A and B are shown apart, each in its own frame.
Chain A
Amino acid sequence: MDFNEKFRLMTAEDMNRVLLRMASQIVENNPDLSNVILVGIRRRGVPLAARLAQKILEMDQVTVTTGALDITLYRDDLSTVGDRPVVNRTELPGNITGKTIILVDDVLYTGRTVRAALDELIDFGRPHRVQLAVLVDRGWRELPIQADYVGKILPTSEREIVKVMLPEFDETEQVIVVEPQ
């Protein structure tokens, strides 16, 4: 499928600024950072979690633990999608019981990914609190899920696709909105 780029939502500098703000909000809301784990949802949540941790380190000289969650096995649409999605690793640092988990993802849309992530987290232990950080909230929720830290809120049409591009996976770093041709 080919896509038309409609507009650019964020440049690399915009993303950097937004992540800095989100990092300072995280610090403000969580006085005890040693109890916090930033858990990125694969794929693009993982480098974003690492960046938030880096910003917190630069700001407060505190190293926040990070982890990665692959929610494939917890998806609610597995029996309807044609191809078996490739299963990747979930890597959580040690025991999560009693911790504050901050889930990190690139785009918040239907909320189904976050639902799956919550279910998976609970299978690993009983966190004290779970918070959600997303770079873009594009609306169209199908579940009662809201983010605690939002980079940018963007009203979208259902046809549109918000693409967060990161150097880890793409050639450039930016957020664009595209539409199928």
Chain B
Amino acid sequence: MRLNRKDLLGIAELTAAEIELILETAETFRDINTRQIKKVPTLRGKTVINLFFEASTRTRTSFEIAAKRLSADAINISASTSSVVKGETLVDTALNLQAMAPDAIVIRHSSSGAPGRIAAIARAAVINAGDGTHEHPTQALLDALTIRHRKGRLAGLRVAIIGDILHSRVARSNIHLLTKMGAEVVLAGPRTLLPFDLEKIVDARPGRLCFARSVEEALRGADVVMTLRIQLERQSGGFFPSLREYSTQFGLNRRRLDLAKPEAIVLHPGPINRGVEIDSDIADGGASVILDQVENGVAVRMAILYLLAGGESA
């Protein structure tokens, strides 16, 4: 079994077997993160460039730690300190980086499809670390690893995804991954924040994906609850009246979580807006696996770097 591809641009193009391989590999890398010497020589001499055009602490740090624990050299470039502010185009930036012969380029960009554009011109492995409202594949993979660890499986689980589905690349990647792996996904959120092509997505996966009329309906009987961040930076369109109203109607609180199965777990991709999409006592409570997600993020990114950048130099 191998990951027969140069890049990781989205979950949509992965097969269930490829997802399984990544999760199995990540499972082993989890152990390394608990050792005293948290470093293996696997990617010695390889170079990983983290190219972040959008703000990020968790994902960038996670990729940087993952690269360093595999002994690769990690270089971070953020848009605010790069030639982008001098007007360089994305393609020119990519060509210049390619000229420095990196083995992998990790990219986050506010435009959907930007990593794909770079992948087409770069010889290096390109890893999408979130592009616009398209995909965030490593987030979905770390969510899957977290769920699998707690529940022992993905197939047959009922997963409620709640919030701003429209702008969420996390939701999109998770919908692809979970339905491919045999879970049942229920979506809920303000009507204005559900993708207009939802019916098309739902139709494409009969029985695996459905839309709930209310948060309560989505939560009933859920094994896993995934709350999404209200992306304050993407809410200029007046999708809901106020944060307070959002919280009242869609926020995850104790009363709502009680509708899910007693042993249900709660995920959030972070950063959390406490008291908006999730109450503090839930985020910090026993059902929350939010910090497990962060921990698993490093293992998943190590697995991806190993599988994509471990071979002959690009």
Contacts and interface: CB of A to CB of B under 8 A. Distances in A.
B35 interface: yes
A90 interface: yes
Contact of B307 (A70, A74, A84): A84
B41 interface: yes
B200 interface: no
B31 interface: yes
Given A73-B41, A123-B39, A87 B29 contact: yes
Interface residues of A, number: 20
B312 A123 contact: no
Nearest to B39: A123
A79 to B, nearest CB: 6
Contacts of A125: 36
B306 interface: yes
B2 interface: yes
A80 B312 contact: yes
Given A84-B2, A86-B1, A90-B31, A78 B310 contact: yes
Interface in A102-120: 119-120
Interface in B19-75: 21, 24-25, 27-29, 31-32, 35-37, 39-42, 45, 70
A69 B211 CA distance: 47
A89 interface: yes
B35 A79 contact: no
A124 interface: yes
A86 B25 contact: yes
Given A89-B28, A123-B35, A83 B2 contact: yes
B306 A87 contact: yes
Interface centre among B29, B42, B45, by most chain A C-beta atoms within 10 angstroms, is B42
A123 B311 contact: no
B313 interface: yes
A180 interface: no
Contacts of B35: 123-124
Contacts of A74: 40-42
Contact of A119 (B28, B32, B41, B310): B41
B259 interface: no
Category for how many chain B residues contact A:
20 to 34
Contacts of B41: 73-74, 119
A31 interface: no
Interface string A71-98: 0011000111111101111100000000
Nearest to B313: A79
A87 B25 contact: yes
Contacts of A120: 40
Contacts of B45: 79
B28 A87 contact: yes
Contacts of B307: 84
Nearest to A70: B28
Nearest to A81: B311
B94 interface: no
11 contacts: A73-B40, A73-B70, A73-B306, A74-B40, A78-B42, A84-B306, A87-B306, A89-B28, A90-B31, A120-B40, A124-B35
Closest 3 CB pairs of A and B: A73-B40, A73-B42, A83-B2
